[in-house]
């Protein structure tokens, strides 16, 4: 092996750890959002919850996440990406222990909000950290690691739920999240700050050291020069969010973050067992089918990671929508037009499972990871943290609204009309992506930003 090759390999193994710990926050995000679907079945009788309080226990985390995302943006610009991940790790740990030991529903809701703060912060900071630390050629794949870890977290939660279902040990279901929280806390302590943030604080030597862990000297120097050029041209600050040249990027970021939720993904992730029971499945069959959904979610995310840097972001977003719209339409029409099922072998029950799987396959291979990859890519550096905060805040509010309303819609209307509604939203998302999203694959973050400036000045003059 040549010297250059072995040096590259050495750099590779150091940087892999950075990616792993960076993405562990995504796993906690997945676990803490996924675990409640099973745990709530046992919390309810134990703490004597009314349906309203049940909803509050599930949704309080989503509200906490909205607040976490809103604060994490400005905080990550001020304190640094790494420090904020450390703060989120402490919050995850406190939230997991507190929720597991809650003596009553008030304390439980409080700690679900605390956990939500960490989930919301992680949803913002992990993709930001990964995209700023990864070299251009593999940035898509590395940033998708976040989504892979989210899906692994969800699957782990589904497995834990299934294993503990017999004993109904909901405190353990919630409390086990403390293990990855502590791994994140300890691991992140040894990981570096991102070079882009360091340069923006005038700490160029430290930035160079970090870059040399995953790039050659020449690549590192070029990248520092590029980052500094972009820095010089910008003014920064909250005010700039309203600047005309930033607006197209902001519209893309907000649109993608919100559409990813209102297409209805979490009606499946949080409520697939409920929907399956609605079309004739028993409890056990619904829980096992849920495991299949969790596993398909992970597998298809792996496929996305393999193809995202070659296929590009936009074709994935559009292709995924076609799959989701078809699945939702077939699901909606079959439950509306065919006779009501009473067992899992009835036609509608089979079609429902196939369509839920078809939706998850289409989402996981495309929108799941792509949105988290594109968000930090399209937003200009100086406002990246703040602007992602705005987009991800709205993402959680959208999640909250969909997750709160779905059970009532299902109870009142059955699955047909709600799923056709999500299909219509899918069509709107298709129009949005076609009109507003530009391709970002294979371009450095600085090139994407220069292009944005150029197009804005072309449009205004
Ligand atoms: C979404 C989550 C969703 C998960 C499913 C993520 O990208 O933001 O809301 O539960 O994907 O894998």
The pLDDT of residue 116 is 95
- Please answer whether residues 220 and 211 qualify as being in contact, where contact means their C-beta atoms are separated by less than 8 angstroms: yes
The pLDDT of residue 4 is 42
CA of 339 to the centre of ligand 1 (A): 32
The pLDDT of residue 325 is 98
Mean pLDDT of 81-85: 91
pLDDT band at 218 (very low <50, low <70, confident <90, very high): confident
Name the residue at shortest CA distance from atom 7 of ligand 1: 368
CA of 177 to the centre of ligand 1 (A): 18
> Does residue 3 surpass a pLDDT of 70?
no
> Does residue 215 surpass a pLDDT of 80?
no
Mean pLDDT of 167-178: 92
> Does residue 428 surpass a pLDDT of 50?
yes
| Distance in angstroms (rounded) separating the CA atoms of residues 360 and 354 | 10
Mean pLDDT of 59-69: 91
The pLDDT of residue 357 is 93
> Does residue 31 surpass a pLDDT of 90?
yes
pTM: 0.82
CA of 382 to the centre of ligand 1 (A): 27
- Please answer whether residues 120 and 68 qualify as being in contact, where contact means their C-beta atoms are separated by less than 8 angstroms: yes
- 260-271 per-position pLDDT tens digit: 999 999 988 888
Testing ligand 1's pocket by substitution, the residue of 23, 28, 30, 317 carrying the most ligand atoms inside 8 A of its CB is 30
Give me the DSSP letters along 122-143.
HHHHHHHHHHHHS-GGGHHHHH
List phi, psi (to 5°) of 215. Answer: -135, 165
How would you label 436-460 residue by residue, b for 16+ Cβ within 10 Å and e otherwise?
ebbebbebbbbebbbebeeebeeee
Task: Round to the nearest angstrom and report the end-to-end CA distance of the chain.
Answer: 55
The pLDDT of residue 1 is 39
> Does residue 12 surpass a pLDDT of 70?
no
Which atom of ligand 1 lies nearest, measured to the CA of 270? 10
> Does residue 402 surpass a pLDDT of 70?
yes
59-68, 229-238, 285-294, 430-439: which has the minimum mean pLDDT?
A: 229-238
Closest CA to 400 of 113, 107, 98, 73: 113
Name the residue at shortest CA distance from atom 12 of ligand 1: 151
- The per-residue pLDDT of the chain, averaged, comes to 84
Contact partners, residue 435, CB within 8 Å, separation at least 6: none
Mean pLDDT of 159-172: 88
How would you label 175-207 residue by residue, b for 16+ Cβ within 10 Å and e otherwise?
bbbbebbebbbebbeebbbbbbbbbbeebeeeb
The pLDDT of residue 227 is 74
Name the residue at shortest CA distance from atom 5 of ligand 1: 151
Name the residue at shortest CA distance from atom 1 of ligand 1: 368
Q: Greater confidence, 152 or 202?
A: 152
> Does residue 295 surpass a pLDDT of 90?
yes
């Amino acid at each position: 092996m040549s010297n250059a090759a072995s040096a590259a390999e050495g750099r590779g193994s150091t940087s892999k750890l950075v990616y792993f710990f960076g993405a562990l926050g995504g796993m906690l995000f997945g676990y803490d959002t996924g675990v409640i679907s099973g745990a709530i079945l046992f919390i309810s009788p134990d703490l004597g919850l009314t349906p309203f309080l049940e909803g509050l226990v599930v949704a309080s985390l989503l509200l906490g996440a909205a607040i976490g995302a809103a604060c994490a943006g400005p905080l990550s610009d001020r304190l640094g990406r790494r420090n904020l991940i450390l703060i989120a790790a402490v919050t995850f740990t406190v939230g997991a222990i507190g929720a597991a030991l809650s003596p009553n529903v008030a304390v439980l809701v409080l700690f679900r909000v605390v956990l939500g703060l960490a989930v919301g912060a992680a949803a913002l900071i992990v993709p930001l950290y990964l995209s700023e630390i990864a070299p251009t050629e593999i940035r898509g794949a590395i940033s998708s690691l976040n989504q892979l870890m989210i899906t692994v977290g969800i699957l782990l939660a589904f497995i834990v739920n299934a294993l503990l279902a017999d004993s109904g040990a909901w405190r353990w279901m919630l409390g086990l999240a403390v293990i990855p929280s502590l791994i994140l806390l300890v691991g992140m302590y040894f990981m570096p700050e991102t070079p882009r943030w360091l340069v923006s604080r005038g700490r160029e030597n430290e930035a160079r050291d970090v870059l040399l862990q995953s790039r050659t000297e020449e690549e590192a120097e070029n990248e520092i020069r590029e980052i500094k050029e972009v820095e010089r041209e910008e003014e920064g600050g909250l005010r700039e969010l309203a600047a005309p040249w930033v607006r197209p990027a902001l519209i893309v970021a907000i649109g993608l973050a919100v559409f990813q939720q209102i297409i209805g993904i979490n009606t499946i992730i949080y409520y697939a067992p409920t929907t399956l029971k609605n079309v004739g499945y028993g409890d056990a069959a619904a829980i096992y089918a849920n495991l299949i959904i969790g596993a398909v979610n992970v597998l298809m995310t792996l496929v996305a990671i393999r193809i995202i840097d070659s296929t590009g972001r936009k074709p994935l977003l559009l292709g995924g929508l076609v799959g989701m719209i078809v699945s939702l339409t077939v699901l909606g029409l079959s439950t509306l037009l065919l006779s009501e099922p009473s067992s899992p072998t009835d036609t509608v029950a089979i079609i429902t499972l196939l369509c839920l799987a078809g939706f998850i396959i289409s989402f996981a291979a495309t929108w799941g990871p792509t949105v988290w990859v594109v968000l930090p890519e399209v937003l200009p550096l100086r406002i990246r943290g703040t602007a992602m905060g705005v987009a991800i805040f709205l993402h959680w509010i959208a999640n909250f609204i969909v997750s709160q309303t779905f059970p009532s819609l299902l109870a009142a209307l059955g699955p047909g009309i709600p799923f056709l509604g999500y299909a219509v939203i899918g069509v709107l998302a298709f129009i949005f992506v076609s009109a507003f999203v530009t391709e970002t694959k294979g371009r450095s973050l600085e090139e994407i930003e220069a292009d944005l400036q150029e197009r804005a000045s072309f449009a205004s003059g």
